Amino acid sequence: MANSAQESRTTRPRRDLGAMRTMMAADRTLMAWIRTALSLLSFGFAIYKILQEVEQSGKLLPNQNSPRNVGLIFGIAGTAAMVMGTIEYWQTLHELRQDNHFRQFRPAFIMALVMSVSGLVLIVGMLTNFL
């Protein structure tokens, strides 16, 4: 009986727990980047729409393009944060994949790509006054 338990331990491939912890830490870091980017993008869009409504109600703003400029600043900051976080994650993933096998398209990475594209769409929408 003890012999079969010992054999099952040796036949199972050992997992590199350090690499798994590093991957999970990289996932958590990317999710923090996603939260930061989402906050900046949401805040930028909200300010853009609020100032646009204030401008349309007839109140004077210091600059005619204030709603667009303020929204763009936050939109660009959120998109830049998302792109930087995604690049950092991709580099970590690339280094870990040299010695270990991990799925390339993990859920956090897919969400980061969606957020990056959403940020670009938001910026283009503000620039073209489409939103």
Tell me the per-residue pLDDT of 92-109, one tens digit each, with 9 for 90 and over.
Answer: 888 887 777 777 778 999
Residue type, 39: S
What mean pLDDT do residues 4-33 have? 76
Beta carbons of 78 and 44 less than 8 angstroms apart = yes
The C-alpha atoms of residue 79 and residue 114 are separated, in whole angstroms, by 11
What mean pLDDT do residues 62-80 have? 85
94-116 burial: b if 16+ Cβ within 10 Å, else e: eebeeeeeeeeebebbebbeebb
Determine the pLDDT at residue 78: 94
More confident residue, 108 or 131: 108
Q: Is the pLDDT assigned to residue 130 strictly greater than 70?
A: no
Determine the pLDDT at residue 10: 57
pLDDT band at 64 (very low <50, low <70, confident <90, very high): confident
